[in-house]
């Protein structure tokens, strides 16, 4: 691959998603707009490595995509609605560049359409990755741990439903935002989680899912700065991402929180995350939501200069609130760990005994048992944890701990 190709491909992908939203509104059809942008993308990828990236790449791609859309509409004209096409062709024939404010409105429309509650949660994620991040079905399949064929089918069905059931291409009125934002924020958050804490396998795909999720979170916050939920999601993602470089060592092995080199944390991102969290909390007049609570927990960890100065009592309080507003297996495990740190291992083990076992549950239980020098039992738990799915780094970490506990048990 010639040098600079990646940079060109990245520009093409990002610009492609920026112009797609406006094109969908103009042509009124997700599939047609995607096809036109796809053709413009291919044209750019063919031309730019030779001619260089034009001074205004977005303008170049906008004009090219409009021309491609005109071609597609003309090709399909025989069987289409002629009157509607005439107005579309006039609109597409314009050569002016869409003003930034219009692009922002179109992006919001696209976000709310892709994340419409009438679509299933995995479909929302797949659509967002396709239209808002510009990923290919192969890349999306890698992110969502499924096959390319299944992803392509899911996307086709989603486009058909949007068209046939007439899911509107519009931003909900202000009063409906509290109802509609959880679905949108859920897509961004689950996307980040799938990159940050995958359930199994190596992180082999060529996409930085965490970076894509943060890009979406930044976009959503930029478009709806007054809304507490997108602000909290961005805060949570930044506070988590800030500590990501320290989670793996040079060999790609897991480094647990107590062992992490905190100088590798991104202090600028932590400061910004805390500011955003405070801003979000100021805007809310009721009980903190799940994103605010998770961001607050991440902020407590990020604030502590050393593991020993972590305020576990406050973290335990936040987890108790989180479990009551948004129970989840991850929150339950977090609560047990916080109880073990803030009180003692007995408290942590008691909370664990109420939960359904999973590989992570077994791994947490093993660590707590080992603290009480119950190494035989810890070995048993880790053996069970290793029977289930895990990421490669997680597996290596558990194998090392298993050896350690075995030696201690003898």
Residues contributing to the site for other proteins (CB under 8 A):
81, 116, 118, 164-168
Q: How far is the CB of 116 from other proteins (least distance, A)?
A: 8
Distance CA 388, CA 382 (A): 10
Tokens (6 digits) for 242: 């800030």
C-beta separation of 75 from 36 below 8 A:
no
Residue 279 has what DSSP assignment? H
Q: Work out the angle at residue 170's Cα, subtended by the Cα atoms of residues 169 and 175, and round it to the nearest 5 degrees.
A: 145
Distance CA 115, CA 107 (A): 12
| CA distance readout (Å), 384 to 126, 325, 366, 368, 371 | 33, 31, 10, 15, 18
Number of H helices, E strands in the chain: 19, 0
Q: How far is the CB of 109 from other proteins (least distance, A)?
A: 13
Q: How far is the CB of 385 from other proteins (least distance, A)?
A: 39
Q: How far is the CB of 32 from other proteins (least distance, A)?
A: 17
Q: How far is the CB of 166 from other proteins (least distance, A)?
A: 4
257: part of which helix (H) or strand (E)? none
Q: How far is the CB of 280 from other proteins (least distance, A)?
A: 27
| CA distance readout (Å), 283 to 173, 218, 228, 275 | 19, 18, 6, 13
Residue (109 or 362) nearer to other proteins, CB: 109
Residue (168 or 178) nearer to other proteins, CB: 168
Q: Is 18 exposed, middle or buried (0-12, 13-18, 19+ CB in 10 A)?
A: buried
Residue (165 or 326) nearer to other proteins, CB: 165
Alpha carbon 42 to its chain's center: 26
C-beta separation of 370 from 405 below 8 A:
yes
Please, which residues have CB within 8 angstroms of residue 128's CB and are 6 or more apart in sequence?
111, 114, 115, 187, 188, 191, 216
Residue (88 or 116) nearer to other proteins, CB: 116
Distance CA 360, CA 58 (A): 45
- Which 3 state secondary structure label does DSSP give 248? strand
Residue (75 or 166) nearer to other proteins, CB: 166
Residue (177 or 246) nearer to other proteins, CB: 177
Question: Residue written as tokens 């991102």?
Answer: 269
Q: How far is the CB of 375 from other proteins (least distance, A)?
A: 51
Q: How far is the CB of 76 from other proteins (least distance, A)?
A: 13
Residue (161 or 244) nearer to other proteins, CB: 161
Distance CA 294, CA 315 (A): 10
Q: How far is the CB of 175 from other proteins (least distance, A)?
A: 13
- Which 3 state secondary structure label does DSSP give 254? strand
Q: How far is the CB of 160 from other proteins (least distance, A)?
A: 10
Distance CA 111, CA 124 (A): 9
Residue (164 or 204) nearer to other proteins, CB: 164
Residue (106 or 332) nearer to other proteins, CB: 106
Tokens (6 digits) for 316: 């335990």
Residue (167 or 219) nearer to other proteins, CB: 167
């Amino acid at each position: 691959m010639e040098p600079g190709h990646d940079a060109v491909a990245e520009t093409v992908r990002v610009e492609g998603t920026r112009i797609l939203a406006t094109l969908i509104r103009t042509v009124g059809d997700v599939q047609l707009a995607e096809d036109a942008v796809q053709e413009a993308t291919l044209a750019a990828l063919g031309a730019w490595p030779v001619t260089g990236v034009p001074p205004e790449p977005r303008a170049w791609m906008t004009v090219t995509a409009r021309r491609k859309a005109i071609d597609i509409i003309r090709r399909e004209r025989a069987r289409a609605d002629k009157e509607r096409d005439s107005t579309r062709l006039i609109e597409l024939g314009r050569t002016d560049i869409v003003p930034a404010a219009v692009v922002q409105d179109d992006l919001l429309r696209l976000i709310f359409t892709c994340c419409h509650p009438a679509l299933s949660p995995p479909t929302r994620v797949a659509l967002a990755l396709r239209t808002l991040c510009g990923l290919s079905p192969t890349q999306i399949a890698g992110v969502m741990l499924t096959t390319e064929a299944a992803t392509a089918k899911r996307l086709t069905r989603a486009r058909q439903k949007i068209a046939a059931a007439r899911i509107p291409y519009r931003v909900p009125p202000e009063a409906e935002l509290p109802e509609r934002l959880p679905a949108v924020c859920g897509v961004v958050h689950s996307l980040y989680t799938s990159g940050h804490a995958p359930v199994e396998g190596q992180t082999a795909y060529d996409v930085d899912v965490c970076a894509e999720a943060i890009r979406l979170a930044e976009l959503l916050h930029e478009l709806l700065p007054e809304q507490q939920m997108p602000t909290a999601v961005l805060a949570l993602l930044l506070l988590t991402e800030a500590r990501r470089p320290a989670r793996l060592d040079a060999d790609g092995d897991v480094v647990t929180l107590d062992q992490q080199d905190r100088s590798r944390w991104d202090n600028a991102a932590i400061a910004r995350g805390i500011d955003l969290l405070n801003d979000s909390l100021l805007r809310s007049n009721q009980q903190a939501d799940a994103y605010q609570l998770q961001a607050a927990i991440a902020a407590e960890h990020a604030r502590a200069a050393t593991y020993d100065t972590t305020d576990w009592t406050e973290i335990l309080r936040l987890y108790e609130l989180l479990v009551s507003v948004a129970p989840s297996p991850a929150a339950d495990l977090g609560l047990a760990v916080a109880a073990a740190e803030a009180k003692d291992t007995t408290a942590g083990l008691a909370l664990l005994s109420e939960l359904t076992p999973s590989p992570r549950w077994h791994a947490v239980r093993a660590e707590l048992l080992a603290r009480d020098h119950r190494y035989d039992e810890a070995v048993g738990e880790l053996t069970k944890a290793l029977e289930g799915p895990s990421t490669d780094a997680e597996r290596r970490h558990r194998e090392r701990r298993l050896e350690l506990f075995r030696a201690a048990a003898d």
